[in-house]
Structure 1
Amino acid sequence: MKAFFALVHRELIEHKGAFLFGPLILVAIILGVTILAFTVGRVDTRITGDMLNVLPLAIPFWGSLFLGVSWGLYLLAVLFFYCADGFAADKRNNAMLFWKSMPVSDFKVLLSKLAAAVTVLPGAVFAVVLLSTVLMLATAQVTMLVSGIPTGFGLAGLWEVFWNVALIELVQLVAGLLWYLPFMALVGAMATVVGRWAIPGSLLLPALASTLEWVTLGGLHPFATRTWDYLTYRAQMPESRLVDSWIAGNPLQVDVSSGLAYAADLASVIDWPQVAIGVVFALVVLYAASEYRRRVNDN
């Protein structure tokens, strides 16, 4: 078990540039630009008219939530590129013989890479998300004080926004990782075969499967099959119904203490049998990739 944790730790060390240092640099740049915008007067912080009737905490709540969504898109893109690169890295950097000499199976090596993709790597980005949220809320507090509002949002209010947004983003992160696990495993398995061409190869496979169904069973076109409908369904991340209700109502009067409600609602809309099927699929394709890796390198 220690060897497995060491393998997961290795992935963090080798890819900390994309999952830790890169996000920290982005946070520093965004913070610097934000401070510069306020100090040179590019942002009008005066609150007048109808804005005075807005629930004050709704502004940092939606700002923090939007920030989390932006980081989620960054993480999603980086994770798929990691799977395309990390699963083929041993073969590309001539480290294969070293890992083959260790008492660790090829399946365990590949499983450690997938485990890193759903634990420590997104965990590093999530830590940066929390840091960026704190910095944004602190900037908002200082800005409100400079704008002439003596109490700003208040520390208690900012803490309420922070932990609710953090809970929402954490739940969404875990749900997204579980939902897209089979896609990441497929890209990783393809990377053991075709290397960095894993992403286009993984996109080609569903199209070929749908085309094969169209040729054998008929249909209007290759993208009007049950296979394509299922893949389209699996490609869409389930969303909590609360977000739609917040937007449909008055988004500036939203209840900012909605973290637990969001988590419960998202858990109720996720297709958990499909999540279980995705986990089984991920393990199967990883095992097939490990057997290919073992047999090719043994020869």
Structure 2
Amino acid sequence: MRAFIALVRRELIEHRGAFLWGPLALVGVLFGATLIAFTFGRVDARFSGAMFTVAPLRIFEIGFLGFGAGWALYLIATLFFYCGDAFWADRRNNSMLFWKSMPVSDFRVLMSKLTAATTILPGTVYAIALLSGLLLFGVAFVTMLINGSATWAAFGSIAVIYGQVALAILVAFAVGLLWYLPLMGVIGGLATAMGRWAIPVSLVLPAIVSMFEWVILGGIHPFSTHTWNYISYRASLPFGEGGYLDAWFLGDAPFSALAFATDLINRTDWLQVLIGLAVALLAVYLASEYRRRVIGD
């Protein structure tokens, strides 16, 4: 177990640039731009403070949720390239023979990479998302102090909103990782055999399969097949239209993490999640067998 934890930790060490230093730099740039905007008069602090006086909770909710959505997109994109790189990293940096000499199976090595992609690496991005929310919290309260409208009640209300949105972002991250797990497993499996070529191949392969279905079974065009419809369905998160977020945005009730999580969980096809888990494990197993039998022998 200690060896497996060490392998997972190795992934963070080797990819901390994309999952730690890069996001921190982005937060620093955004925070610096905000400070410059206030310092050089690009934003009127009195006007900003007046806005937070009129609707402090709503502005902070929307702003923090916007940050969460942005970090979710960043995480999805980064994990896509991570799986295309990490699963063949040992082969690329000529350390394959070293890892094959260790008392750790190829399956455990590859599973440590998939585990890192669903735990410690997203956890790092989530921590950065919380930090960006804290900075937004600070900007909101400072402008209220400048405007003279800050109170302890306002501080407490914004703190409650911070907790609600932070919990909602955590649930969205968790469901999203489970939903996209088969994609990560398949890309990782392809990368074990063909390296970074797995990234363009994973983008083109669905279109090729859909085209063959169209040629064999017929249809209007290659992008109107059962294959393409299923891939399109699995490529989008199960938020959908007419859910809690739409109702909350159009209403005036405070944001509820419990209502958001309940709506998201109810909208998620958990049978598809279980099928995706099986597909990811199968892809990693086949990749480990290829790595054991072909690579490094």
TM-score, with length taken from structure 1: 0.93
The alignment-based identity, stated in percent, is: 55
Letter in 2 for 1:243: L
Name the structure 1 match of 2:244: 242
- CA pair 85-298 structure 1, distance change in 2 beyond 3 A: closer
Paired residues for 1:189-268 under 5 Å? 189-239=189-239, 241-247=243-249, 249-250=250-251, 253-256=252-255, 258-268=256-266
Task: State whether residues 80 and 184 of structure 2, in contact with CA within 8 Å, keep that contact through their aligned partners in structure 1.
Answer: yes
User: Structure 2: 5+ residue runs without aligned partners?
Assistant: none
Q: How many residues get paired?
A: 294
Instruction: State the alpha-carbon separation in 2 of the partners of residues 226 and 54 from structure 1.
Output: 50
1:67-107: per-residue Cα shift (whole Å, max 9, x none)?
11111111111111111111110000000000000111111
Task: State whether residues 52 and 140 of structure 2, in contact with CA within 8 Å, keep that contact through their aligned partners in structure 1.
Answer: no
Instruction: State the alpha-carbon separation in 1 of the partners of residues 206 and 160 from structure 2.
Output: 44
1:148-191: per-residue Cα shift (whole Å, max 9, x none)?
32428722112111100101100000010000011111111111
After the TM superposition, list the runs of 4 or more consecutive aligned residues in structure 1 that deviate by more than 3 angstroms: 45-48, 50-55
User: Structure 1: 5+ residue runs without aligned partners?
Assistant: none
1:13-47: per-residue Cα shift (whole Å, max 9, x none)?
11111111111122122111111111211013445
Task: State whether residues 85 and 195 of structure 1, in contact with CA within 8 Å, keep that contact through their aligned partners in structure 2.
Answer: yes
Paired residues for 1:1-299 under 5 Å? 1-47=1-47, 54-151=54-151, 154-239=154-239, 241-247=243-249, 249-250=250-251, 253-256=252-255, 258-299=256-297
Cα shift at 1:280:
0.2
Instruction: State the alpha-carbon separation in 2 of the partners of residues 223 and 135 from structure 1.
Output: 44
Identify which range, 260-269 or 215-224, moves more after superposition: 215-224
Task: State whether residues 141 and 153 of structure 1, in contact with CA within 8 Å, keep that contact through their aligned partners in structure 2.
Answer: no
Over aligned residue pairs, what C-alpha RMSD do you find? Answer: 1.8
Task: State whether residues 86 and 113 of structure 2, in contact with CA within 8 Å, keep that contact through their aligned partners in structure 1.
Answer: yes
Cα shift at 1:298:
4.8
Instruction: State the alpha-carbon separation in 1 of the partners of residues 123 and 259 from structure 2.
Output: 23
1:184-236: per-residue Cα shift (whole Å, max 9, x none)?
11111111111111111111221121112112212122111111111111111
Task: State whether residues 7 and 109 of structure 1, in contact with CA within 8 Å, keep that contact through their aligned partners in structure 2.
Answer: yes
Cα shift at 1:147:
2.3
